Amino acid sequence: MREAQFLKQNAEKWKKFETEIRHHTPADVLAGRFIELTDDLAYSKTFYPQSTTTRYLNGLATLFHQKIYRNKIEDKNRIWWFWQYELPFLFRQYHRQFLYSFLFFMLFCAMGALSARYDENFIRLILGDGYVNMTNKNIEKGDPFGVYKHAGQWDMFFRIAWNNIQVSFIAYVFGATFCVGTIWLLLSNGLMLGSFEYYFFSKGLGVESILVVFIHGTLEIWAIVIAGAAGLILGTSILFPGTYSRGVSFIRGGKDGLKIVIGLVPVFLTAAFLEGYVTRHTGMPVLTSVTILGVSLLFIIWYFIIYPIRLHKRIESSRGRASVFTNNDFDLWLNKKFTSGK
């Protein structure tokens, strides 16, 4: 359909919607109008992405969204629902950024391992002379991972948790540098992990390092990858605003990225707890280590990948139509859950 025909067919309806939103229209009517608008917006985005029609519909849909949400009823379980629904929805929406962040990180890990293999000074450059010398002495004493036993449990937990949360927020904020700062942070952490693992593998302690270090490292490393994805979300919102103005796109990307980083705090706290209280027991049975690693990995796969996809399909099927799925659809669905309590 040509844009002129699309306008002629719907202009009167949109004018009616504009009038309704300025008056005290019942919430269920607004919700119905909102669904119609998002359908029209999805169609316009598909066939006339750069047109004034798309910008107009986007603005009108935003007005409806704001009016509906202004009157929503907050549930006493709002915080719980943040992790149950809002975060997984964002995860599904930004799976592509998750993948890019993961691929960047793995590439930098490989670069770190290869650099350590072909330059013996690289490990000391990245990990520091103090750490390497101390670990060499621990290996000679038969306790290669003794570094995890030196500090007190509470002190270690607090310092690690605080440091990792800081790093995650820095990775997010650095996205404002058009993603350059975020990629640099992924580079530095990837080089560190790659050279760290090569060091232990070169000492014949590769498997032991995985069974010990990845007790906390599985969650910690993945959280850093997701924090990197939050930075990429912020950066790409500036670089690729789509049908929104650059300012509006930046605000949207900033809010989504910030929600993701805040949602990572429990993951970092869990990783810090494991490092402070569990990893220090380097002589634990292999089965115990493998179980902790397996549970951590299953949690990552379920909560960050499988569950968000299922939630997305669940919301989409509840709409009963096959048009393009939008953020506004999720907001409307979530608002209905708040008001219905179901």
Asked which of 27-36, 78-87, 245-254, 258-267 is least confident by mean pLDDT, the reply is: 27-36
Work out the mean pLDDT of the chain and round it to a whole number.
Answer: 86
Do 264 and 137 have their domain in common? yes
Do 12 and 153 have their domain in common? no
Q: Is residue 151 pLDDT above 80, yes or no?
A: no
Do 146 and 67 have their domain in common? no
Distance of CA 46 to the CA centre of its chain: 26
Q: What is the pLDDT of residues 44-63, one digit of tens each?
A: 888 888 888 888 888 888 88
The range of the structural domain enclosing residue 226 comes to 81-309
Q: Do 37 and 323 contact (CB within 8 A), yes or no?
A: no
Do 122 and 148 have their domain in common? yes
Q: Is residue 74 pLDDT above 80, yes or no?
A: no
> What is the DSSP annotation of 134-193?
HHHHHHHTT-TTGGGGSS-HHHHHHHHHHHHHHHHHHHHHGGGGTTHHHHHHHHHHHHHH
Do 225 and 147 have their domain in common? yes
Number of domains in the chain: 2
Do 289 and 325 have their domain in common? no
Q: What is the pLDDT of residues 129-140, one digit of tens each?
A: 999 999 999 999
Do 104 and 161 have their domain in common? yes
DSSP 8-class letter at 203: T
Do 63 and 102 have their domain in common? no
Q: Is residue 76 pLDDT above 80, yes or no?
A: no
Do 278 and 153 have their domain in common? yes
Do 134 and 235 have their domain in common? yes
Q: What is the pLDDT of residue 226?
A: 96
Do 193 and 268 have their domain in common? yes
What letters, b where the CB count within 10 A reaches 16 and e where it falls short, cover 67-98?
A: bbeeeeeeeeeeeebeeebbbbbbbbbbbebb
Q: What is the pLDDT of residues 307-321, one digit of tens each?
A: 999 988 887 776 554
Q: Is residue 323 pLDDT above 50, yes or no?
A: no
Average pLDDT over residues 160-186: 95
For residue 188, count other CB atoms closer than 10 A to its CB: 14
